[in-house]
Amino acid sequence: MANNYISQFFFHSEPTMSRIVMVAAAQSGPVPRNESRKDTVERLLAMMRKAHRQGSDLVVFTECALTPFFPHWYMDDPREVDQYFEMEMPSEQTEVLFKEAARLKIGFQLGYAERVEKDRTVRYYNSSILVNKEGQIVGNFRKIHLPGYNEIQPDHPFQNLEKYYFDVGDLGFRTWRSFGGVVGMCICNDRRWPETYRVLGLRGAELILLGYNTPCHNPQFPEMDSLVSFHNLLCLQSGAYQNGSWVIAVAKAGTEEGVAQLGQSCIIAPSGEVVAMCHTLSDEVIVHSCDLDATLPYKEGIFNFEKNRHIQSYGPITQQTKSTPPEH
């Protein structure tokens, strides 16, 4: 019985060509508040070129890669806030990234703060874009699961004001055919929610790209500080395995404006195994050869959604937000 199962899912009667994507995770060290956008972009360019020298097809940058993670402090002047947001993409300061990507024939994913004005309404998003090897934007995402608060916490040593600065993303969890496979994106706290991976999995994701800024200290629940590293890997590995996808997770690392951040950028295989990880708290590039066909034993086996999902039993997932235990 076991041998039949193995042969069914690991050995195909017809030979298939492997779909290899060389992916680089480009971790950023701290971005000081007084560092210019031009200097920050130069750091990203240096990592892009390093990834290219190592044969990468795609380089993944972190969340809000162009600025320090400003939700860690409070600002009440809209003009000061706006300086951290991009009004267009590519912008005058980021266009060089697109041109260099096209020259090198390497794609990239970039996280940034996005300001959108439409019909006299201004929205602010924590966003990311997917750019192909020709320097063209082929996909965009806006963070959905915003953590933290919408007002200042005076007793906390630093703030987490994402709900204050950002609107909830309005694009959903989408996927795109690119880099020889199916690519999805999410951002930071989205990675902690199983719904994120499952929707991307249902939309065929073989590569899931994300950036994150994760403090080492949780002011609200300090007893969780010792679990920060464990929880980071737990959600990434389980999300990869349960949906048969590669997960590329890229951090902002080190102490930035007084806030120590985790780092631990990594590449997770569809098996849930960590196959590459950063070991510094500064700018660092790791590269791994991701075989998209390695997703097949999971997508066609235990996590064959078409054969094994029973949506008639999943109603509460989309019908309610609050937990409702039985009364008795």
Q: pLDDT tens digit string along 37-88?
A: 999 999 999 999 999 999 999 999 999 999 999 999 999 999 999 999 999 9
The angle subtended at Cα 108 by Cα 289 and Cα 237, nearest 5°, is: 50
Write b or e for each residue in 53-64: b if 16 or more Cβ atoms lie within 10 A of its Cβ, otherwise e. eeebbbbbbbbb
Assess whether pLDDT exceeds 60 at residue 12: no
pLDDT > 70 in the chain, percent: 95
Residue 13's pLDDT is what?
38
Of 63, 86, 100, 284, the catalytic one is 63
- 188 catalytic? Reply is yes
Of 186, 188, 266, 290, the catalytic one is 188
Task: Provide the mean pLDDT of the chain.
Answer: 95
Assess whether pLDDT exceeds 70 at residue 7: no
Q: pLDDT tens digit string along 108-127?
A: 999 999 999 988 999 999 99
For strands 284-291 and 20-27, give the pairing.
Answer: antiparallel
Residue 18's pLDDT is what?
72
- 63 catalytic? Reply is yes
Domain boundaries, the chain: 21-306
- 134 catalytic? Reply is no
CATH number of 21-306, picked from 3.30.110.60, 3.60.110.10, 3.30.300.280, 3.30.2080.10: 3.60.110.10
Q: Where are the alpha helices (DSSP H) in the chain?
A: 2-10, 37-53, 78-82, 95-104, 162-165, 194-202, 228-243, 296-299, 305-308, 315-319
Residue 4's pLDDT is what?
42
Q: Mind giving me the DSSP string for 78-133?
A: HHHHHTTSBSSSS-TTTHHHHHHHHHHT-EEEEEEEEEEEETTEEEEEEEEEEE-T
Residue 6's pLDDT is what?
37
Of 64, 100, 114, 143, the catalytic one is 143
Assess whether pLDDT exceeds 80 at residue 16: no
